[in-house]
Amino acid sequence: MQAFAASCAIAAAIALPAHAAPKTTLNLGMAVEPTGLDPTIAAPVAIGQVTWQNVFEGLVSIGEDGKVQPQLAKSWEVSADGLTYTFKLQDGVTFHDGETFDAAAAKFSLDRARGKDSVNPQKRFFASIASIDTPDAGTLVLHLSEPTGSLLYWLGWPASVMVGPKSAGNDKTVPVGTGPFKFVNWAKGDKVELAKNDAYWNKQVSVQLDKVTFRFIADPQAQAAALKSGDIDAIPEFGAPELMSSFDGDTRLTTEIGNTELKVVAGMNNARKPFDDKRVRQALMMAIDRPTVIEGAWSGLGTAIGSHYTPNDPGYQDMTGVLAYSPEKAKALLAEAGYPNGFSFTIKVPQMAYAPRSAQVMQAMFAEIGVTMNIEPTEFPAKWVQDVMKDRAYEMTIVAHAEPMDIDIYSRDPYYFNYNNPDFNALLKKVQLTANPAEQNKLYGEAQKILAEDVPALYLFVMPKLGVWDKKLKGLWKNEPIPSNVLTNVSWEE
């Protein structure tokens, strides 16, 4: 009885602090450590996943719904010809080092991104900006050389964030932004620590977290162990779908399955035989039963797609029915294209788990229509970028495209698909001629249709966002319209 009373007292003592005040720290796990912390000079998405919206902010931002919303620019006007953008900036905004954010700082940021020596990974976003005026400290005017309907959306990206003229040079190791969190420390190979910015300009949001630690854990088993042992509070993008069910029945953790922008596609070299024949590409697409690929590659978690577009994206249309699974029709098409006995080719497969697994399932499906696919492993990013992106020395490959709204890659020349369709290019040009979202969505719908019929790449599935976190943690994004970990509204429930 005494022992019982004692253990009650101990239990109460342990439980008490939890009730005293809500937690204000967060340990968030990520698989990939960022390389540098300045999203305006390097491409890896992990950089934005730590800093975007937390440390750095943009003129505009992209919300959880994927829509553009005001941020450091409180409003804007676009001239009727689409060539002049006038932004009204927020007042009283300072960078973490005390430097003032105004029109001059905004002009500095954009000039740095579009300048001759710029190494901005998305420099093309700013290509149509001809000149920038700052009539007063609160007004920024962009003069464009041609209408650019996606400009506002692009200005919401990590690569377009506002940097301080004094601090920009050091942002890669000591990032200084205007966001709700300040950079504290980066223990390389291990963690990045942020702390609440008490001088945050936006009084409409109340930031609940005082301290945030991003921890980098590459191995999915180690991720699971860290979650279960309580070392980590959340892993917004858990690495292994096959381990998701191991969290079932855990009283402390919750799992959330959302969408990302990661489109898993098997790109073909459209300049090479037999992939230069649309019928061959269509036959290969019809030989694939997407749900089986998703089952085999990603434990059934993921959304089938029929073109290079995700359900997160504005104007999404389900195109999976255009070339639906039908081995008989596929065989007939192959015969029509002159391959009654099939053919054989090689796919270059990067090492990321989804790629070899998808390829193996596809290999079996192609065999059913008499097509032999040889699987050749390759190393991502280094060797893949060299062979596929740069040299375009490949027949088929498979990779998840992470950039949101990058349907325009099919109109880029050069790009690794070697796809060239003037109708498609004209459509995407039209998208830039209007800034009207409804009009843009209609055009994007037509573009999706062309890709679904032309299949320059085999469209497989959108990767799910496998979130695992403490049940008491609120405000993390379920979906991911842009790779990020936005912590502004994250809090612990009492």
Chain contacts with other proteins (rule: CB under 8 A) = 33, 35-36, 42-44, 116-124, 172-173, 187-191, 215-219, 221-222, 225-226, 228-231, 379, 381-383, 385-387, 389-390, 403
**Residues paired with 69 in a beta bridge:** 61
* Residue (230 or 377) nearer to other proteins, CB: 230
CB of 52 to other proteins, least distance (A): 15
Question: Which residue, 238 or 339, is less far from other proteins as judged by CB?
Answer: 238
User: Closest distance between other proteins and the C-beta of residue 201, in Å?
Assistant: 28
Nearer to other proteins, 268 or 330 (CB): 268
Q: Which is nearer to other proteins, 163 or 207 (CB)?
A: 163
C-alpha–C-alpha distance, residues 232 and 213, integer Å: 9
- Minimum CB separation from other proteins for residue 151, in Å? 16
Closer residue to other proteins, CB minimum distance, 87 or 157: 157
Find the shortest distance in angstroms from Cβ 298 to other proteins.
Answer: 22
Q: How far is the CB of 14 from other proteins (least distance, A)?
A: 13
Q: How far is the CB of 344 from other proteins (least distance, A)?
A: 25
Comparison of 250 and 493: residue with beta carbon closer to other proteins: 250
**Which of 116/203 has CB closer to other proteins?**
116
CB 267, min distance to other proteins, A? 11
Distances (CA, A) of 330 to 281, 293, 305, 318, 325: 10, 17, 19, 21, 8
- Write down the least CB distance from residue 117 to other proteins, Å: 6
> Between 193 and 277, whose beta carbon lies closer to other proteins?
193
CB of 105 to other proteins, least distance (A): 22
By beta-carbon proximity to other proteins, the closer residue of 164 and 370 is: 164
Q: Which is nearer to other proteins, 340 or 381 (CB)?
A: 381
Q: Shortest Cβ distance from residue 427 to other proteins (Å)?
A: 20
H, E, C per residue of the chain = CHHHHHHHHHHHHHHHHHHHCCCCEEEEEECCCCCCCCCCCCCCHHHHHHHECCCECCCEEECCCCCEEECCEEEEEECCCCCEEEEEECCCCECCCCCECCHHHHHHHHHHHHCCCCCCCCHHHHCCEEEEEEEECCEEEEEECCCCCCHHHHHCCHHHCCCCCCCHHHCCCCCCCCCCEEEEEEECCCEEEEEECCCCCCCCCCCCCCEEEEEECCCHHHHHHHHHCCCCCEECCCCCHHHHHHHCCCCCEEEEEEEEEEEEEEEECCCCCCCCCHHHHHHHHHCCCHHHHHHHHHCCCCEECCCCCCCCCCCCCCCCCCCCCCHHHHHHHHHHCCCCCCCEEEEEECCCCHHHHHHHHHHHHHHHCCCEEEEEECCCCHHHHHHHHHCCCCCEECEEECCCCCHHHHHCCCCCCCCCCHHHHHHHHHHHHCCCHHHHHHHHHHHHHHHHHHCCEEEEEEEEEEEEEECCEECCCCCCCCCCCCCCCCEECC
